């Protein structure tokens, strides 16, 4: 029998310290859910990249609107973890390709893709977008 699903949501302001708070929240929540530490590290990395992308792109697209709101949602579903980062920008995430590997920035989605089973985005009816990824919590990994 698989464990009950757990969900956690953290509201953030789109500013540079949002990444630190999102990473700390992820580590605290997953530790409380007794997720093995190697999976906590992977989740913290994915969360860092997704929140960094959201902060960068929201600040660029909406500089005069004041600080935008982001949300981090973690969903533990037994064998996998779903990470979602929502922001008010409707523009889809654009992977930078292999040329970004040697650049100083632009590797975020490549990293998310490399550590997750799958990733994507959707436009919720409430506006903005949600970028998500699914991380395996298999014991062998």
Q: What are phi and psi of 31, to 5 degrees?
A: -65, -45
Residues spanned by the domain of 58: 6-136
CATH of the domain at 118: 3.30.565.10
Q: Where are the beta strands (DSSP E) in the chain?
A: 6-13, 69-76, 80-87, 118-122, 129-136
Tell me what percent of the residues of the chain surpass a pLDDT of 70. 83
**20 within a domain of the structure (yes/no):** yes
The CA distance from 76 to 80, in Å, is 6
**54 within a domain of the structure (yes/no):** yes
**37 within a domain of the structure (yes/no):** yes
Give me the pLDDT at residue 88, please.
93
Per the structure, how many domains does the chain have? 1
Nearest residue to 134 (alpha-carbon basis) of 91, 92, 73: 73
At residue 115, does pLDDT exceed 80?
yes
DSSP H stretches of helix in 33-141? 37-61, 108-115
Task: Decide which of 8 and 64 is more confident.
Answer: 8
Task: Decide which of 99 and 125 is more confident.
Answer: 125
**111 within a domain of the structure (yes/no):** yes
Give me the pLDDT at residue 1, please.
43
**141 within a domain of the structure (yes/no):** no
- For the entire predicted model, the pTM comes to 0.87
**1 within a domain of the structure (yes/no):** no
């Amino acid at each position: 029998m698989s464990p009950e699903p757990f969900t956690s949501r953290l509201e953030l302001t789109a500013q540079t310290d949002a990444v630190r708070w999102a990473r700390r929240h992820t580590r605290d929540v997953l530790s409380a859910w007794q997720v093995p530490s190697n999976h906590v590290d992977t989740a913290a990395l994915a969360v860092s990249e997704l929140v960094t992308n959201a902060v960068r792109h929201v600040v660029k697209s909406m500089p005069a609107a004041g600080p935008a709101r982001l949300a981090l949602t973690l969903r533990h579903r037994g064998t996998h973890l779903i990470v979602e980062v929502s922001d008010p920008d409707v523009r889809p995430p654009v992977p930078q390709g292999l040329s970004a590997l040697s650049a100083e920035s632009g590797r975020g989605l490549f990293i998310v893709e490399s550590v997750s089973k799958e990733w994507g985005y959707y436009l919720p009816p409430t506006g903005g977008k949600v970028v998500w990824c699914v991380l395996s919590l298999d014991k062998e990994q």
